[in-house]
């Protein structure tokens, strides 16, 4: 699994393929775990955005004046509404995971991340409150 933060930018919201460039510092993990050691190629993926509609996509491999890069792209044309209420400056987490031959990319919105953290912390907080206030729950 590869996990990294991504700051929503104008090109992500306005471009029909909603590109997310994978930071160079995560490329070794990407090649090792997702590409299984055989990088330098474009591969198909499924993208699970915050709006919960699964989209077909790819991890595109390219070379620019800055060198090699990998970029997550949606295939087809989808408006930014497919990505929920994200706006420029929001920070999301991008999770790339391999399950057998399938590669899934999950884009976790700030709202969803807060809910997941609350769900994890909620049982712990309830136990602390019970211990602090015995007999009240």
CATH number of 2-109: 2.40.330.10
Chain Cα centroid distance, residue 90: 13
Distance separating alpha carbons of residues 33 and 5, to the nearest angstrom: 18
pLDDT on residue 79: 75
Chain Cα centroid distance, residue 79: 18
Q: What 3-state class would DSSP assign to 118?
A: helix
Distance separating alpha carbons of residues 101 and 90, to the nearest angstrom: 31
Q: What is the pLDDT of residues 26-83, one digit of tens each?
A: 999 999 999 999 999 999 999 999 887 899 999 999 999 999 999 999 998 777 788 8
Of 116, 109, 115, 76, the C-alpha closest to 94 is: 109
pLDDT on residue 111: 81
């Amino acid at each position: 699994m590869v996990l990294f933060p991504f700051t929503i930018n104008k090109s992500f919201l306005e471009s029909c393929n909603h590109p997310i460039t994978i930071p160079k510092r995560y490329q070794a993990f990407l090649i090792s775990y997702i590409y299984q050691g055989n990088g330098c190629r474009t591969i198909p993926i499924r993208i699970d955005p915050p709006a919960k509609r699964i989209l077909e996509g790819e991890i595109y491999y390219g070379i620019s004046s800055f060198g090699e890069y990998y970029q997550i792209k949606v295939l087809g044309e989808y408006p930014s509404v497919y990505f929920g209420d994200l706006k420029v400056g929001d920070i999301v987490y991008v999770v790339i995971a391999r399950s057998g031959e399938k590669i899934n990319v999950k884009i976790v919105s700030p709202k969803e991340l807060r809910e997941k953290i609350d769900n994890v912390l909620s049982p712990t907080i309830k136990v602390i409150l019970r211990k602090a206030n015995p007999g009240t729950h």
